A and B are shown apart, each in its own frame.
Chain A
Amino acid sequence: MKAKAIIPVLLMMLFCTGCWSSREINTLAITICLGIDKTDEGYLITKQVLNPTALAMQKGSDEDPVVLFVQKGENLFSALRKIATESSRKMYNSHVRVVVLGENLAREGIKDILDFFMREHEFRTDFYYVIAKGTTANEVLGILTPLESVPGVKLYLSLENSERYWGITSAINSIFLVQSILADGINPVLPGIEIISKAGYSEMENSNDAKRLQYTGMGVFQEDKLIGWLSEDEAKGYHYIIGDVGNYVEQVYYNGKDQIVCEVRDSQSKMIASCKDDKPSVCVKIKTSLNIAAVEGVLDITKQENRKILKELLEKRIKLLCEKVQKKAQQELHSDIFGFGEAIHRREPKLWKKLKDSWDTEYVKLPVHYDITVEIKQAGQISKPMFLKEGED
């Protein structure tokens, strides 16, 4: 009986030798970055793939840390698959960090691309989208980056950093992007990346190193089509309005000469829609707390009345930033990037039903009010300005 039972067990072992679809790591080409451009026939794909041999070397090697694959195709999938004709390894897409979209493509619309990314099982939803401002994704991915040996990782990390510390970009993943394209009362924005070459970098040995990648402002979309750009200041204002603010630097001038520099600790915003005689309006409440980072000049910030002045100056400054971007979005770009429409939708669903279809024209005349409160929390390691003499004020 026991001997008989062993036979099926042995037979079973034959079929349990491992995963059917297993792919060993040394047979994979791990994609870290994907660039998409529009061409006449379809898409031009640029794929940045990790080069494990070069990455494993401790000291610099002759090989580049990443390998680029470029292919054309009538659609994304066929272009991606065509890479098989030049790569010895099968592509693995689950680790894509950043997708770079060429500006031409973004202007023509990105709906079709998003459908592919949401459908295909290897792509997750946690990577970020950026737009190659004034250039192609192909060029952007061709640039090697300092500090991080893998350019894709650099794109990812500096995107997160510049969102947190400089406030001109937003890290936006598939979910958020699709949500804001689908909803009627909000339009998406995506960060833009530029190739810059500065004189200061030319001492590097390699001439290619003189080129750097830098995030600059944000692209504004109407539905899924890129229609314009926000400058750095406008992008900052945008973040204040939507309340997604990191540790920004904010500076104000007192009497036109004393410069006070502050670091934003925390900033929250609330959009409150209201309705009077079927006319919608939105009030944006912003609450910001800051630390003083530097005082260039002689304003004694320890004095109560000076703090009050400083507070008012900062409130004015933030309001100015917000109004500037709001004006541009309403009058120049006609795109509701802040989600004012959604705020009305949430608060006044009945009114929104009427407005929904004509929102693009209604939005342009929507009155927006600001209610800004600033709190100054700390003043750093010193209290008065270091070189303020007694009695001088």
Chain B
Amino acid sequence: MSETKITSRQIISLTAGVTTGGSVLVIGALIASVAKQDAWIGSLLTILFGIPVIWIYLFLGRRFPRMNLVGMSRELLGKWFGTIVAGSFLFLLLQMSYHIPWYMGDFMTSRIIPETPHYVIKALYIAAMSIAILYGLEALARASEIFIMIASVLFVFVMVMVAPNAKIENLQPVLENGLIPVLKSSAILSCFLSFMTISMLMIYPAHLDDSKEGGKSFLKGYFLGGGITCISILMSVLALGWAITANSRFPVFRLANLINVGIVFSRIEIIVFVIWVLTQFILSTVFFYGFIIGFSQLLKLKDHKRIVLPLALILLTMSEVVFPDVAYQEHWIVYTWVPYIFTHGFVLPVFLLVVYWVKKRVLKMDIGDNQGQK
């Protein structure tokens, strides 16, 4: 379908960005409020529970090595029903692409530059996203390689610097309230970690030469991103205690506030912001790219780059009106986003998988492309 090819190493960095970006700065609060001092167990379990989910994604990818999710659903579910399902999935991608700029504006204006209007920050951010997509997927993938490297190094640095503040007492007693809140928290975290990677199905495997190698990279990227999120939650609870973590809007930012090693390494919490922006940028651009590719596929456009700028304007407007206030956003995240992404990130691929098996085994139809299974 497409001539653009990316390497499997770039799949690592893109997946890691998608996994980390949505969760690293904010999610600790939600997880800690559910699982209390066991939030770190919850996040470890999340990574484990994510593996079968990723396996489903990879399985679908390997059966249709030249398609993205839109193509798969049309192939499996038929033209009309497949288009409706794909459209619904694309709408999710579009929504995320304007949610992320909203987060960016919210964070910047509440923590860093409160006098700057939201609009300017979002406009710059969306401009960067559009430029990335206009340059093409290869440029985005290469940028993500650099971004993830910078972000990981900075992340390790911040966590080492904050380590003297960690108190093991903050984790005890382990499993005080039993396993149920822990499982609950990891179910919630999955919605921000594992299920997010469904967006990668718009890139993997269509733009990859070797989908098997790419599958390994997919998992590696997932572990890298999941590991970063998990460590950030663990350190927040270790250093801040679960109560303060649960009550902070940006727990990792508050965590980095504590850094005071020597006189030199203090007041460097802005590093956390840099990590967040870099990974967040990968996340939102992958979503936006997925939407544009899928949308132009549905509309049978020859050049997907033509619709980038008009859509960027839509993003800008939507990011301004999507959440009226923070309270609404916090409510939305828990009560709408969780079932929403669950439907598209879990139910949809499982449904596709079932349809594939039924068609292949029961109806003995010749379906899928086995080229990738060499």
Contact = CB atoms under 8 A, between A and B. Distances in A.
B169 interface: yes
Interface residues of B, number: 24
B241 interface: yes
Interface in B194-247: 239-241, 243-244, 247
Contacts of B243: 178-179, 182-183
B176 interface: yes
A126 B258 CA distance: 7
A388 interface: no
B257 A179 contact: no
A376 B113 CA distance: 55
Interface in A253-297: none
Contact of A20 (B110, B115, B266): B115
A182 B243 CA distance: 7
A125 B254 contact: yes
Nearest to B249: A119
Interface string A168-181: 00000001001100
Is the interface on chain A under 10, 10 to 19, 20 to 34, or 35 or more residues? 10 to 19
B110 A125 contact: no
B240 A19 contact: no
A121 interface: yes
B260 interface: yes
Contact of A346 (B116, B173, B267): B173
B116 A21 contact: yes
A124 B254 CA distance: 8
A179 B246 CA distance: 12
Q: Chain A CB within 10 Å — which of B116, B244, B254 has the most?
A: B244
A356 to B, nearest CB: 11
Contacts of B244: 175, 178-179, 182
A212 interface: no
A224 interface: no
Interface of A: 19-21, 118, 121, 124-126, 175, 178-179, 182-183, 342, 345-347, 349
Interface of B: 110-111, 113-117, 120, 169, 172-173, 176, 239-241, 243-244, 247, 254, 257-258, 260, 266-267
20 contacts: A20-B113, A20-B116, A20-B120, A21-B115, A118-B247, A121-B114, A124-B257, A125-B254, A125-B257, A126-B257, A126-B260, A126-B266, A175-B239, A175-B241, A175-B258, A178-B244, A183-B243, A345-B172, A346-B173, A349-B173
